[in-house]
Chains A and B, each alone.
Chain A
């Protein structure tokens, strides 16, 4: 039966880890805003500026072509 004591100790240690994680999360401000992250995660990848430059150049070319034609 003494194995029960070991299990109890393990049990309370595991639970403590979660408690500490919870306290850390609260202190870290993760519970301050419960709405925005749920929206943020659905956004597409951030726009990288280099790509922008490329596409805008391409756009310009297209425009020039269309003007010529």
Chain B
């Protein structure tokens, strides 16, 4: 009897052979059904009609335990979390990474129908944030979070959420500046236009006067407000003895303004105010184009966004919840199932089975005995354990590693260096030409000397040059983002171009974090035995059991009696009158000898008869071979892994050089390895995924984090790569080179325009009309060329 497999109404996942049926609708699990029922009772089934199967499935281990949110009742945490609270009405913002469709927006904005205590809620989709106004008498913060969790929109609340970064005002200021510059530019252009027409000399003098002074007034806010950043940064870099691109810009702007004002006062004309305002307007547009950010992604996470907000402290008087920053060495804490170990500690009581997958990328939990030392960052799987804190959170091994590099990396100069190198020569050349022209005219026609000098500075103002980088790199970032490679900022592209070495982490980076291949070694298993095994492992939440359960192909399941899960040993139970033991070698065979087996094994016995063991092999990401082959022709490849050497022989053919494969590396080793590579003069790209790579990621020129779900926690890095796009890695890196060559070609175009402009200027012939045509034209050409060729190349090369 084979039933057609149905898709869950809630989350769209395959329901398997035995769906849960409620109201004649199939569900894949109890969780999905509960949410549906809740929405159905509240007449909110419209949720399911906006997008197809919009719901979020929570795995068993993701469902928050009963007092997970008890800490939200602490006044100290509550006040830090709330945006605003007055007279019982409070406002709070949550980051909910699972927001993904229109249905989510609809449901979250109709929270008030689910609970009367919610007054209003609104979603910011790009930021994946919901802000909720609610009455505290009817619904306290804890209940609100539990309400969100009950519909499977679990908000992310971490230490970092508490330290809310002040809302970034810079994007608003930039928009206002663009608005003002645009306003002044368009109006000034209108006033200047009559002067460019034939016969303008017959215009009444009054008009010229009014138009001129109006443009003068319009240019004031542009120069002093909109362009202020350019003056500031030119001044700052000059003090550091760097000639940045902002210096010739600032010089050009000042000369433009002075020259125009001079002409206005002496009644020679009305100057170049239109060019001045236009220039600033274009420059600001370039800045805005480059500043796209992925609002829901964070590249600057530190350990605080990973650690919990509060912990349960055990005292003589009983359990109390305390905020994490009050945790001291010597405290006894309780860590429940699925909770994180916040500080280095020793195990006091209970069976610890700790999942360090966030730290090392390895998904198989590590067993610990009473008295053992446990590092912070792991997640307890199984029953609750008691720990004695040895070091404060800030002093823990991982956090220390993290903090250390933060200080190191902050002082590196981030600004694009190619443009600064060019601008050094550029500025020197321009000033020489300007002085040369002035000298020449000083001897021949001294009335033209000053004018020729200023003209050169004006026309050479490197607007087009300054726009090249923002538009080329901005377009490149957009192309990358569309294909699942998210950069922190545009400077990363230039760094990508410079790298010579690529260093890979193994577990979770070139292998899949979750799925692995399994082989059975031992007796040939019968169909019946497979079915027995599958029935038993189905009941366990241990990652290895899950892998076995999903990989084994056996139809149907038996009922299991006397199921028992023994932490860090194995599982046992009676299935169809046979007694099964599945677990570690010691648990199943009783063999105490500590064999130096490198690979993970799960032993199986049925009715005391040992059948053999499952061996877990790493399964490599799709396209690994091709990617490595492609990259190895241009880059030196290294591998640093925290794991043992079991995979060495598989990886050697890929990486070729024995010395480049490094196993058993601690996080500090990784950091030092990168450090050494870079000191030997080869800038490195590090690709990793876990906290143990955090140091190395920070140290490397470009740190790339690979993530299955990009909105989940990732260590601080320069770029995030979606895991399924791993096979395109070499294309992205190669494309960074294409971007750089586009930048060079654009530089050439803008130099050509400059040559034309300067040839007018040195002759003392630069009229406002030439400036008004040449300056915007050069900018537009460069912008169009840069954006167009990036998009064209991306279509060809990035598929």
**A residues apposed to B, CB below 8 Å:** 1, 4-5, 8, 11-12, 15-16, 18-19, 22-23, 26-27, 29, 31-36, 39-40, 42-44, 46-47, 49, 52, 55-56
Verify A22–B179 contact, CB threshold 8 A. Answer: yes
A31/B127 in contact, CB under 8 A:
no
Interface-located stretch among B41-49, B524-532, B541-549, B688-696: B41-49
A52 with B179: CB separation less than 8 A:
no
Query: How many residues on B have C-beta within 8 angstroms of the other chain's C-beta atoms?
Result: 31
In the complex, what residue of chain A is closest to B42 when comparing beta carbons? A52
Q: Known contacts A15-B183, A26-B172; is A33 also within 8 Å of B43 by CB? A: no
User: Min CB distance, A46 to chain B, in Å?
Assistant: 7
Q: Which of B105-113, B157-165, B261-269, B580-588 contacts A (4 or more CB under 8 A)?
A: B105-113
Could you tell me which B residues sit within 8 Å of A by CB distance?
42-44, 46, 50, 102, 105-106, 109-110, 113, 116, 122-127, 172, 175-176, 179-180, 183, 186-187, 190, 204, 207, 210, 214
For A49, list chain B residues within 8 Å (CB). Answer: 113, 116
The chain A residue with its CB closest to the CB of B172 is A26
Question: Are A8 and B110 in contact, CB atoms less than 8 angstroms apart?
Answer: no
**A-B pairs with beta carbons under 8 Å apart, 10 shown:** A1-B207, A8-B214, A19-B183, A22-B176, A26-B176, A31-B175, A35-B125, A39-B125, A44-B46, A46-B113
The minimal Cβ–Cβ distance linking A27 to chain B, given in whole angstroms, is 7
Q: Does A36 contact B180, Cβ atoms closer than 8 Å?
A: no
Kindly state the separation between the CA atoms of A8 and B102 in the bound complex, as whole angstroms: 47
Residues of A near B102 (CB, < 8 A) are 39, 42
Contact assessment for B179 and A19 in the assembled complex, using a CB-CB cutoff below 8 Å: yes
Contact assessment for B124 and A32 in the assembled complex, using a CB-CB cutoff below 8 Å: yes
**Cα distance A55–B126 in the bound complex, in angstroms:** 36
Instruction: Write the nearest CB–CB distance from B551 to chain A, whole angstroms.
Output: 40
A39 to chain B, nearest CB (A): 5
- Cβ of A52 and Cβ of B180 under 8 Å apart? no
> When A5-B210, A22-B179, A39-B102 are in contact, do A47 and B187 touch as well, CB less than 8 Å?
no
3 smallest A-B Cβ distances: which pairs?
A: A36-B125, A33-B124, A19-B183
Q: Which one of B46, B109, B187 lies within 8 Å of A40 (CB-CB)? A: B109
Q: From residue B313, how far is it (CB to closest CB) to chain A in Å?
A: 40
Specify the chain B residue showing the minimal Cβ separation from A29: B172
B124 pairs with A36, CB closer than 8 A: yes
Chain B residues in 8 Å Cβ range of A56: 43
One of B106, B109, B176 near A23 (C-beta < 8 A): B176
Q: How far is the CA of A46 from the CA of B123 in the complex (A)?
A: 15
User: Among A18, A27, A47, which residue has its beta carbon within 8 angstroms of that of B113?
Assistant: A47
Cβ of A36: which chain B residues have Cβ within 8 Å of it? 105, 122-126
Contact among A1, A15, A34 with B204 in the assembled complex (CB-CB below 8 Å): A1
B105 touches A40 (CB 8 A): yes
- Asked whether A33 and B125 contact (CB < 8 A) given A39-B102, A52-B43, the answer is yes
Give the Cβ gap from A11 to chain B, nearest Cβ, in Å: 8
Q: Closest CB of chain A to B45's CB: distance in Å? A: 11
- Inter-chain CA distance A29–B630, complex, in Å, is 46
Asked whether, in the complex, the Cβ of B46 is within 8 Å of the Cβ of A23, the reply is no
**Cβ–Cβ < 8 Å partners of B179 in chain A:** 19, 22-23, 26
Assembled-state Cα–Cα distance A35/B122 (Å): 13
